[in-house]
Structure 1
Amino acid sequence: MIFIIALFLKVKPKTAMMSAFYAGVGLTGFGWIISQFTPVVTTIIKQMVDNTGIDLPVVDIGWQAGSLATFGSSVGLTFFVFGLLFELIIFALGITKIFMPSNLWNNFGFMLWGTLAYFVTQNVWLSLGLSFFMLLYALLLAEVQADRWSDYYGVKNATVSSLHNIEQVIPALILDPLWNLLGFNKVKMTPAAFKDKLGVFGEPTTLGALLGLIIGIIGNLNNLGDLKAWGQILQFAIQLSAVMTIFPLVTGVFAKAFTPLAEEIDKNRQTKAAEQGEVTDELNDKKRWFLGVDDGVGYGEPATIISGVILIPIMVVIAFLLPGNKTLPIVDLIALPFMVESIVALTRGNILKVIANGIVWFTLGLYASSWLGTIYTGAVSHYGAAIPAGVVLITSFNLVARPLNALVFAAFITQNPLWIGLCIVIYLGLLFGLRRYRAQIWTYLKQMADKNAGFSGSSDKIEY
């Protein structure tokens, strides 16, 4: 898909071919690192759970089971085919300025919720309607954050648009005035500030080792007198340090897949604007559009991966203390850096704000996941994989612990025209506002991001 898009944008065949290879190599690298690191993290987290005595019935076994189920359902497969056509049509009509087909894989997020709805209602049209509606508002949120994401992560005219990682735009927007009131914007908690203040101890490699040491100790609190436990602690410290060192390098390779495309988009935009005598300012250019890219592009950026790793033990503790929660996040905790990208971009890497937003939103997500536990387990066992032995209910912290998505899902499965209609009306109102005031929205978000102290620029973020 990347190769085809590149040729369509009149990128030289050689460059288009290399873009396609870089995309494949980057994704493969992500897969290798995460597949090797996930069992390690899972082991430590399970030990943390055992030490705290957590007993929660809805167990997070990772997003893979959910994605598999989407391709095993008729609703999921139908959306995979017609969703692609729909994405092309709404882009051509200007309903969205995000070219989603370049991020084709992440369609499984929309397919998942349609599959869950069909499992509950057995209504094909309603379930497909839910998937298409979620696509529409995900693209709207992706466009709202697009200028900030592109600026912060250093990939021109690109943004993430996956359903499971885009709704964090909501808390980042709503809660930012509160965090500023509390003075969070004045706290210099950015990778650049860490390096300035801590020297070598502020480097992601060293921070990874220190965070790994802390998490490892928490996971072995009952065995600190055991030499074997310290072996595991020190090994995990090096493994986390390796992830935080290697991931940015792989991210840099992956970003190379989109750089020629993004630059060509920008070149074409400026050429057309010059021919027509129009303003070429990026914030005010109504014709500016963006490639939908995989969230992996931003995973290895220092503020992103540091924030995500810090949130791992925090979310485990919250899951234990939260009244009424039934969800135990385990495997998908490694996906937390993916889950905070929008917040990182909108707050310009203010790690304190990222953690605060994550705590609020993902705590609400635990309630959503707890409510959906029975539905998700039934759908996955029916359309996808077998449930692991000894597990009562399953979930995916990354896919299902989503307050906004769960709320829309709840409205649709009522099959009540009033609630469904309300969702559509709200979306249309927001779309109208975005189309009419996009420049003002982006200007506000830039001003909002600039209020954060300690930011030293984002041009070198990907190549860190």
Structure 2
Amino acid sequence: MAALSYILSFKAYVMLPIVIFIIALMISIKPGQALMSSLTLGVGLAGIFIVIDFLVSNVGPAIGSLISHTGLNYPVLDVGWPSLAAMAWASDIGVVAIPMVLLINAIMISMNMTRTIDVDIWNYWHFVLLGVMVKKATGNFYMAVLATAVIAIITLKLADWTAPFIEKRFGFKGISVPTVSAITFFPIGVIGNAVIERIPYIRDLHANPDTIKKRFGVLGEPVIIGFVIGDFLGILAGYDVKGILQLGVSLAAVMVLLPAMAEILVRGLTPISEGIKRFMERRFPGRDKLYLSVDPALLLGNTSVLVTGLLLMPLSIALAFVIPGNRIIPLADLTNLMTTISMVILATNSNVIRALIIGIPIVIIDLVISSRMAAFFTSLMHLYKVAGQKGYSGLMSSFTDGGNPLRYWIFEVFKGNVLAYASLPLLALLLYASWYAYKRFKNSENKGGISDSV
């Protein structure tokens, strides 16, 4: 257990390059190239996290100021996803989950049931968290392990179905994102996009970085968009001119630096992906290509993801004040909205307007579930001695990951909730929509064109 805790204490930008380096050697990539590619990947991922930390350090105080101006005080503290991750890895489920998920992944690959090689071990905590929740609710360790396996399998399949979209629409080849916090919302994005397609006028509204550039010229450049959004947030936060301009320049920097860091990560990943492709062609002639898993932070390199996520932040605060039953003000998890919305952007082909429309019900769902689960998460945090905030003794939850609808639904199923069982057809519809979108997209590719919608 101590050894596992030590390994899991490595940052993602350290652990992932180590795993990738080992895989590279196993598939006969020369040690020098394997080392260079792995380190380049790690540098890109570290750069992404550095920029995200910079974003949080600038946006966080602005959001806090915005909330304080309302004078409202909600009883649940948003402690963010790190508290949930720490809780997951502090549990006995985590010890079992790593070898189990690796084994499930290997079996599915060997049986051609998945194309995703899930080496992003740190993000297994998303699977482990469900197991921890089920064990707490049922007292049954084996049910908890089964729940962990179920969400891992669903996530791997969704990762397979989204990978071609990521390659064609985001330009990241040979990768997939099997992370619950992101992948959950691709089916919702697909169905939401299909609904909007049937609404006159709204279906004709389209805005992405390319169309904004064409219409507004230099004003449509990502650096200008970031500056304007930063100034807007600064004004809402009640900042003075100096504070407004500083926040504007900070977000302009984020809009430029995140895509640059994503490019570095992809530069390191490309030789590994090509090596895996050659290896599979030698060992399994005719086998479809495989995808390497990466952290969803890579998707934040897409300008539409950044723009939509930033616009959703103040909108989420506004929704928190008006949604009946909500008891949490988004704070620590607010910037994680960019991860949440990334797959919606993917499903809508980078249409910011559609993603914002679809993002509203997603935010509402997150608010309601995270509020509902607050007492449960608080008891778990006390059980595993995870501190939400020093000196705080009230209710705690996580706005985005604590409100994740897929994890919550599976949790309710394992609890024996009749309504959760009754909603099985809805889950089947969401999964079918994702599979159908994938098949339609692949057919469009095979015919020589790329469909603009799913």
TM, length-normalised to structure 2: 0.86
Q: Is residue 108 of structure 2 the alignment partner of residue 107 of structure 1?
A: no
Tell me the equivalent position of 2:312.
311
Are the equivalent residues in 1 in contact too, given 2:143–2:414 (CA < 8 A)? yes
Tell me the equivalent position of 1:279.
none
Q: In the alignment, residue 308 of structure 1 is paired with which amino acid?
A: G
Are the equivalent residues in 2 in contact too, given 1:157–1:262 (CA < 8 A)? yes
Equivalences for residues 359-378 of structure 1 within 5 A: 359-378=360-379
**3-state DSSP of counterpart to 2:292:** strand
Q: Is residue 263 of structure 2 the alignment partner of residue 263 of structure 1?
A: no
Q: In the alignment, residue 377 of structure 2 is paired with which amino acid?
A: Y
Alpha-carbon distance between aligned partners in 2 of 1:437 and 1:169, rounded to the nearest angstrom: 10
With over 3 angstroms needed to count, the CA separation of the structure-2 counterparts of 1:267 and 1:356, relative to structure 1, is farther
Tell me the equivalent position of 1:298.
299
Percent identical residues? 25
Are the equivalent residues in 2 in contact too, given 1:185–1:451 (CA < 8 A)? no
Are the equivalent residues in 2 in contact too, given 1:185–1:350 (CA < 8 A)? no
Equivalences for residues 354-433 of structure 1 within 5 A: 354-388=355-389, 389-390=391-392, 392-414=394-416
Are the equivalent residues in 1 in contact too, given 2:79–2:398 (CA < 8 A)? yes
Are the equivalent residues in 2 in contact too, given 1:205–1:242 (CA < 8 A)? yes
Match of 1:141 among 146, 158, 161: 158
Q: In the alignment, residue 148 of structure 2 is paired with which amino acid?
A: S
Alpha-carbon distance between aligned partners in 2 of 1:445 and 1:340, rounded to the nearest angstrom: 25
Q: Is residue 79 of structure 2 the alignment partner of residue 61 of structure 1?
A: yes
With over 3 angstroms needed to count, the CA separation of the structure-2 counterparts of 1:271 and 1:203, relative to structure 1, is farther
Deviation at 1:71, TM superposition (A): 1.3
Deviation at 1:343, TM superposition (A): 1.4
Are the equivalent residues in 2 in contact too, given 1:59–1:391 (CA < 8 A)? no
Alpha-carbon distance between aligned partners in 2 of 1:340 and 1:121, rounded to the nearest angstrom: 32
With over 3 angstroms needed to count, the CA separation of the structure-2 counterparts of 1:421 and 1:209, relative to structure 1, is closer
Deviation at 1:449, TM superposition (A): 7.5
Alpha-carbon distance between aligned partners in 2 of 1:362 and 1:40, rounded to the nearest angstrom: 22
The superposition leaves residues 331-372 of structure 1 with CA deviations (integer Å, 9 ceiling, x where unpaired) of 211122221221112221111111111112221121111111
Are the equivalent residues in 2 in contact too, given 1:19–1:258 (CA < 8 A)? yes
Are the equivalent residues in 2 in contact too, given 1:144–1:441 (CA < 8 A)? no
Are the equivalent residues in 2 in contact too, given 1:149–1:342 (CA < 8 A)? no
Deviation at 1:427, TM superposition (A): 6.9
Contiguous gaps of at least 5 residues in structure 2 = 1-18
Q: When the two structures are aligned, how many residues end up with a matched partner?
A: 432
Deviation at 1:295, TM superposition (A): 0.8
Deviation at 1:446, TM superposition (A): 10
With over 3 angstroms needed to count, the CA separation of the structure-2 counterparts of 1:44 and 1:325, relative to structure 1, is same
Alpha-carbon distance between aligned partners in 1 of 2:57 and 2:340, rounded to the nearest angstrom: 19
**3-state DSSP of counterpart to 1:181:** coil
The superposition leaves residues 159-204 of structure 1 with CA deviations (integer Å, 9 ceiling, x where unpaired) of 1110121110121121212211234443230101111222221111
Higher RCO (CA < 8 A, seq sep 6+): 1
Tell me the equivalent position of 1:280.
none
More displaced, 73-82 or 364-373? 73-82
Tell me the equivalent position of 1:239.
250
The superposition leaves residues 361-396 of structure 1 with CA deviations (integer Å, 9 ceiling, x where unpaired) of 221121111111111121122214223234622222
Deviation at 1:317, TM superposition (A): 0.7
**3-state DSSP of counterpart to 1:244:** helix
More displaced, 121-130 or 176-185? 176-185
Alpha-carbon distance between aligned partners in 1 of 2:180 and 2:403, rounded to the nearest angstrom: 12
Match of 1:35 among 53, 67, 86: 53
Q: In the alignment, residue 231 of structure 1 is paired with which amino acid?
A: K
With over 3 angstroms needed to count, the CA separation of the structure-2 counterparts of 1:441 and 1:391, relative to structure 1, is farther
Are the equivalent residues in 2 in contact too, given 1:216–1:233 (CA < 8 A)? yes
Tell me the equivalent position of 2:265.
254
Alpha-carbon distance between aligned partners in 1 of 2:430 and 2:189, rounded to the nearest angstrom: 20
Deviation at 1:266, TM superposition (A): 4.7
Alpha-carbon distance between aligned partners in 2 of 1:424 and 1:111, rounded to the nearest angstrom: 25
Deviation at 1:318, TM superposition (A): 0.7
Are the equivalent residues in 1 in contact too, given 2:87–2:381 (CA < 8 A)? yes
Q: In the alignment, residue 370 of structure 1 is paired with which amino acid?
A: S
Deviation at 1:262, TM superposition (A): 2.6
More displaced, 19-28 or 129-138? 19-28
Q: In the alignment, residue 23 of structure 2 is paired with which amino acid?
A: I
With over 3 angstroms needed to count, the CA separation of the structure-2 counterparts of 1:39 and 1:410, relative to structure 1, is same
Are the equivalent residues in 1 in contact too, given 2:174–2:270 (CA < 8 A)? no
Equivalences for residues 264-283 of structure 1 within 5 A: 264-266=275-277
Deviation at 1:30, TM superposition (A): 2.5
Alpha-carbon distance between aligned partners in 2 of 1:126 and 1:83, rounded to the nearest angstrom: 15
More displaced, 45-54 or 387-396? 387-396
Q: In the alignment, residue 297 of structure 1 is paired with which amino acid?
A: L
The superposition leaves residues 42-65 of structure 1 with CA deviations (integer Å, 9 ceiling, x where unpaired) of 211111112223322222122111
Tell me the equivalent position of 2:323.
322
Match of 2:111 among 58, 79, 93: 93
Tell me the equivalent position of 1:70.
88
Q: Which runs of 4+ in 1 moved over 4 A?
A: 265-273, 418-431, 444-449
Tell me the equivalent position of 2:196.
179
More displaced, 205-214 or 72-81? 72-81
Q: In the alignment, residue 322 of structure 1 is paired with which amino acid?
A: I
With over 3 angstroms needed to count, the CA separation of the structure-2 counterparts of 1:331 and 1:158, relative to structure 1, is same
Deviation at 1:441, TM superposition (A): 6.3
**3-state DSSP of counterpart to 2:113:** coil
